[in-house]
Amino acid sequence: MASQSGTPNTAIVGLQWGDEGKGKFVDVLAAEHDVVVRFNGGANAGHTIVVEGEKLALHLMPSAVLNPNCELVIANGTVIDPGILVKEIELVESRGLSLEGRFHVSSRAHVVLPWHSLLDGAAEARLSDRGEAIGTTKRGIGPAYADKIGRSMAIRMGDLLDEAYLRTHLEKIAPLRLEELKVAGNDSTIDTEALLADLTTLGERLRPYITDTTWLLHDRVNEKRSLLFEGANACLLDVDHGTYPFVTSSNASALGISPGTGLPAKTLGRVVGVVKAYSTRVGGGPFPTELDDATGDRIRDRGREYGTTTGRPRRCGWIDLVALRYAAMVCGADSLAITLLDVLSGFDEIRLCTNYKTASGEILDRFPPDARLLEECTPVYESHPGWAEEIDQCKSISELPPACQSYLKSLQSHLGVPIEFISVGPDRRQTMRCPQKQSCRDDSCCVPGPLENA
């Protein structure tokens, strides 16, 4: 579906295990859309924005906050720690960015409560004793979504505005959760009165923003405004379609948009899948192309691959086309944004995983549905010559070294999805774009064709 200006409603989602550099493309695409919508996840996501040379790390606020013409929506599919959200609002406002009248938080979104992060930490500690930790961000994401699905122990953002209801509900929930924490080996005490006072104050601070975003978003669609859906986390971390159980607890692929916003699937016009030129993963879980060697270390150093939310070093490896073909299919990617291509300069050889080999020697081209099956897979690589030159100042595809152009062409033809964007550095200006954008299906045009500076 397209807006008055003809811009289709667009989703921007990561196709790997997160940290693909989505924020920059949200920034680029926000300029073409009226409303930016977060539909999943919580403060487990992280992006850094630069305001007058100063870096601000945000976790909940949509990254398009810098664009004063964009309306910002945190929709019902998210889980929100209200303390973190208020801090982010204050941080953003203190830098002179106004949110008045343009920022909306769903009354249906669920609240992350203090026991959620404690329970998350306790569960991880238990699993880690058995060497089975998921490696979560310990932001309480799993326990908050578990309460949402469980229904009787949850609090939603709208509940923060009803003190009497909140009191009755908290008095019922708190003792049960504290008991559960004790069983999990955590003797924390939480003063229910103090928590009630805290949540009521935070609710009052957030009152101007909390609203029924389902109606608001339908109104915007009817007004023919264009929407940009900003996915948090990434497709392979999707609770239904990712490498379960080493996933997050929300639908982090493009499939999460409908349930996470209340908009019908047909609202979505196109999907841009963001793909790092190599692979990374934070936390546990299978990662067939992981490089536990000097090459992996070199990718980590060049790509500054350390988590925005937790600071953890990311696991690094070659690009995995089996996983990407699957993720592009599940998300319905219409075009690709290739990021961090500059990190690959200086390698003699670059590898692309085109297939998996199972323990029994079978060659797979389809991504398996189970983490245990994936754990048994080893990568089958296609070798590609590297390039020595730094490319971070290249302004068009024709300036990229021939081996780099040919790497992009290989990616595009293996994935069967046109490359719309190429990023060779963190700055907005270090971005190239295919002039025909999403409509281009012509392999000879996109890569290595007439790509232009964005």
Nearer of residues 142 and 203 to ligand IMP, judged by Cβ = 142
For residue 137, the minimal CB distance to ligand IMP (Å) is 3
Nearer of residues 73 and 282 to ligand IMP, judged by Cβ = 282
Distance CA 154, CA 71 (A): 28
For residue 45, the minimal CB distance to ligand IMP (Å) is 4
Largest CA distance in the chain: 67
For position 45 contacting ligand IMP by CB under 6 A, the verdict is yes
Amino acid found at 169: H
| Cα-based torsion angle of the residue sequence 149, 150, 153, 157 in order, rounded to the nearest 10 degrees | 10
For position 135 contacting ligand IMP by CB under 6 A, the verdict is yes
Beta strand residue intervals within 252-323, DSSP E: 270-276, 279-281, 315-317, 319-320
* Catalytic sites, residue numbers: 19, 47
For position 283 contacting ligand IMP by CB under 6 A, the verdict is yes
For residue 116, the minimal CB distance to ligand IMP (Å) is 10
Instruction: Count Cβ atoms within 10 A of the Cβ of residue 339 and give its class: 0-12 exposed, 13-18 middle, 19 or more buried.
Output: buried
For position 233 contacting ligand IMP by CB under 6 A, the verdict is yes
Distance CA 18, CA 21 (A): 8
For position 220 contacting ligand IMP by CB under 6 A, the verdict is no
For residue 200, the minimal CB distance to ligand IMP (Å) is 27
Scanning the structure block, which residue is given the tokens 């030129």?
A: 277
For the chain, the distance separating the N- and C-terminal CA atoms, rounded to the nearest angstrom, is 24
Distance CA 448, CA 454 (A): 16
Nearer of residues 8 and 23 to ligand IMP, judged by Cβ = 23
For residue 361, the minimal CB distance to ligand IMP (Å) is 30
- Of 93-101, 105-113, 132-140, 379-387, the segment contacting ligand IMP by CB under 6 A is 132-140
For position 117 contacting ligand IMP by CB under 6 A, the verdict is no
Scanning the structure block, which residue is given the tokens 């929930």?
A: 173
Nearer of residues 305 and 342 to ligand IMP, judged by Cβ = 305
Nearer of residues 136 and 267 to ligand IMP, judged by Cβ = 136
Site residues for ligand IMP, window 242-281 (CB under 6 A)?
A: 246, 248-249
Nearer of residues 71 and 230 to ligand IMP, judged by Cβ = 230
Distance CA 328, CA 332 (A): 6
For position 141 contacting ligand IMP by CB under 6 A, the verdict is yes
Nearer of residues 84 and 447 to ligand IMP, judged by Cβ = 84
For position 72 contacting ligand IMP by CB under 6 A, the verdict is no
Q: Hey, what are 38's tokens?
A: 């977060």
Beta-carbon count within 10 A of 403 CB: 15
For position 19 contacting ligand IMP by CB under 6 A, the verdict is yes
For position 237 contacting ligand IMP by CB under 6 A, the verdict is yes
For residue 58, the minimal CB distance to ligand IMP (Å) is 12
Q: Which of 137, 339, 354, 410 binds ligand IMP (CB under 6 A)?
A: 137
Which phi and psi angles does 173 have, rounded to 5°?
Answer: -80, -45
Do the Cβ atoms of 7 and 409 come closer than 8 Å? no
Site residues for ligand IMP, window 161-190 (CB under 6 A)?
A: none
Q: Is the peptide bond before 448 cis (omega within 30 degrees of 0)?
A: yes
Site residues for ligand IMP, window 363-382 (CB under 6 A)?
A: none
Backbone torsion region of residue 4, taken as left when φ is above 0, otherwise alpha when ψ lies between -120 and 50, otherwise beta: alpha
For position 282 contacting ligand IMP by CB under 6 A, the verdict is yes
Cα 310 to the center of its chain, rounded Å: 15
Which phi and psi angles does 245 have, rounded to 5°?
Answer: -90, 5
Scanning the structure block, which residue is given the tokens 């630069």?
A: 50
Which phi and psi angles does 18 have, rounded to 5°?
Answer: 100, 170
Q: Which of 107, 136, 289, 405 binds ligand IMP (CB under 6 A)?
A: 136
Q: Hey, what are 182's tokens?
A: 């004790």
Q: Hey, what are 292's tokens?
A: 């536990």
For position 21 contacting ligand IMP by CB under 6 A, the verdict is no
Please report which residue ranges of 184-337 form alpha helices under DSSP H: 192-206, 213-222, 257-261, 294-303, 321-331
Nearer of residues 246 and 326 to ligand IMP, judged by Cβ = 246
For residue 148, the minimal CB distance to ligand IMP (Å) is 14
For position 60 contacting ligand IMP by CB under 6 A, the verdict is no
The CA–CA distances, whole Å, from 438 to 10, 252, 317 equal 10, 22, 28
Number of residues that bind ligand IMP (CB under 6 A): 20
Nearer of residues 38 and 270 to ligand IMP, judged by Cβ = 38
For position 18 contacting ligand IMP by CB under 6 A, the verdict is yes
For position 134 contacting ligand IMP by CB under 6 A, the verdict is yes
For residue 80, the minimal CB distance to ligand IMP (Å) is 14
Please report which residue ranges of 304-430 form alpha helices under DSSP H: 321-331, 371-375, 402-415
For residue 135, the minimal CB distance to ligand IMP (Å) is 4
- The binding site for ligand IMP (CB under 6 A) comprises 17-19, 44-45, 134-137, 139, 141-142, 232-233, 237, 246, 248-249, 282-283
